[in-house]
Amino acid sequence: MTVMTRLVLLLSTPIFATLLFGCAGQAQPTASPMQVAQLHTGSVPGGQMTVTRSLGTHDLAVLTRLSWGVTPVLAAEAGHEGMAAFIAHQLHPDKDDHLPPEVAGQIAALRISQTPSLDLAEAVVTSRREIQMIQDADQKQAARRQLQQQMTGLGREAQEKSLLLDLYSRNQLLQLTTWFWMNHFNVYLPKADIRVFVADYEDAIRAHALGKFRDLLSATMHSPAMLLYLDNAENADKRINENYAREIMELHTLGIDGGYTQKDVQELARILTGLGINQRSVLPNVRPALRADYQRAGAFEFNPNRHDYGEKVFLGHDIRGSGPAEIDEAIDILAKSPATAHFISRQLAVFFVADDPSAALVNRMADTFTRTDGDIAAVLATCFASPEFDASLGGKFKDPMHYVLSAVRLAYSERPIANVQPIRNWLNRMAEPLYGHETPDGYPLTQASWSGPGAMATRFEIARVIGSSGAGLFKPDALDAAEPPAFPQFQGPLYLDTIAPTLASTTAGALNQAVSPQDWNTLFLSSPEFMHW
């Protein structure tokens, strides 16, 4: 960062209103400038009508890195709190997401918010049984299709909730980190009944996304979505399925070079026997001697009947066959391993710093990991305080999620969208739909995977769509619903004061040749600067 412009954000000045709504010939937004200004200050605890904390280019770059995209509200909030306090607050968020009421309402109205997943899962099982009874082949096919549609609907609701939280939660770092862990502990929506459970899975991950890694790992191991995805629901005594055991070590904890053997894979698979799901509320008939070991939470189940109670040796530790206790023991061993500290630190550094983070940075983060017993917030604090982090600001290429969310957040920061379908479409086109990566390694975190020729061309097309109109984001999700007028606005004071001075002369030159507001938006969203975070 060369320019350190210390500029004042005067959120209620007339120029703000003019710039935000001054595009001749564009549809008038529904909110008045004054309402918007109040929203700004209202979002800052104890805020005055005028927020006068200055925010520099460097601060803005930090905000960009710690969020799904900078907005005037976020900038005002950070300006008010001061950057250090803001970062600390983001690392230790309070429970309240501070969602705009209409967004909270949208989420509360979803079926996944109103019905426990076990009820949904049980309904699916019942429907399946009914479908089996249908004699007529065509009717059977139609009933199957209907069930599939219902289940797909549940998966789409999970995506909707996730996207709305990403766009509007005040806890931006929590949301960003939740996506990172969802990708780290990847599941794939179309497989089995994962659609029914994925919203729960994300909630479980969010609850520990900035907490202790051990708790996070344990949460994923007790989640129906993961147990289905990596087939542990099939893993039982004498019918061993090694899939999950292998991926836990290779992808979730130790890393491929983490020093485990095929024998360890087999032993962990034995330890994990019985960890599975039960999509019905009835309980299995467990042998009396093992009944105390039975565990149940929603559709999650530990079924002692399926567990291998034999002795095991896992990563050099003798494990006595004891049911749930040995699973906890295995989790402890994995979470405390130096290989895990190193592997997880490196993954976080790739996501938050650079494609190929320095060994020195990764080692410092891993030290913090070990010292704090896997405290993720502490590891990130080490990362954010590092010179490597500072040097990397603005240098990461946005993956499609970052690209779309940052564009929508900046374009409509004051006006919650009514429909996430356009965002789903854009993510599909750019090949990064939520829960859409088939293999357990998750989406790649590095630039090369997203910046190929086809991907760049697609991105510019999407830039044009987002930049030219409301693009369906404000059209209620109902047949025949009319879309209220909407137009994306990027050139507020945040842009003028803090973003514009950082643009390269080539970018500024191209923007100067825009022939309309739509054209300007398209070029801005296509610029190298907007492609990076």
Residue 322: name the closest of 389, 386, 273, 374 by CA. Answer: 273
417 CB neighbour count, 10 Å cutoff: 25
Instruction: Please identify which residue in the block is written with the tokens 């905000």.
Output: 63
Binding mask 87-126 for another protein (x = CB under 8 A): ----------------------------------------
Cβ 452 to another protein, closest distance in Å?
5
Q: How far apart are CA 452 and CA 123, in angstroms?
A: 44
528 binding another protein? (CB under 8 A): yes
Smallest gap from Cβ 293 to another protein, in A, equals: 29
Count residues near another protein (CB under 8 A). 49
The interface mask with another protein, positions 254-273, x = CB under 8 A, is --x-----------------
Q: Which residue has the tokens 């565990």?
A: 295
Residues 451-510, interacting with another protein (CB under 8 A): 451-458, 460-461, 464-465, 504-507, 509-510
173-212 binders of another protein (CB under 8 A): 188, 191
Taking the least distance from each CB to another protein, the nearer of 13 and 447 is 447
Point out which residues pair with 8 in neighbouring strands. 54
**Nearest partner of 394 among 93, 64, 66, judged by Cα:** 64
b/e burial code for range 23-50 (CB count within 10 A of at least 16 → b): beebeebeeebeebbbbbbebbeebeee
Site pattern 421..460 for another protein (x: CB under 8 A):
-------xx-x----x-xxxx------xx-xxxxxxxx-x
Q: Is residue 148 at the binding interface for another protein, with CB under 8 A as the rule? A: no
Out of 26, 141, 196, 258, the only residue in the binding site for another protein (CB under 8 A) is 141
Instruction: Record the tokens describing residue 48, joined without a space.
Output: 């005055």
Q: How many CB atoms lie within 10 A of CB 13?
A: 15
CB of 234 to another protein, least distance (A): 10
Give 55 or 245: the residue with its C-beta nearer to another protein.
Answer: 245
Half-sphere exposure for 228 (CA within 13 Å, toward CB): 22
Q: CA-to-CA distance for 51 and 44, rounded, in angstroms?
A: 9
- Which residue number, 155 or 304, has a Cβ lying nearer to another protein? 155
| Sequence-distant (≥ 6) Cβ neighbours of residue 173 within 8 angstroms | 66, 67, 90, 91, 93, 210, 380
* Amino acid identity at 308: D
Q: Which of 95, 101, 114, 138 binds another protein (CB under 8 A)?
A: 138
Judged by the rule CB under 8 A, the positions of this chain that interact with another protein are 137-138, 140-141, 144, 188, 191, 231, 243, 246, 250, 256, 428-429, 431, 436, 438-441, 448-449, 451-458, 460-461, 464-465, 504-507, 509-510, 512-513, 519, 522-523, 526-528, 531
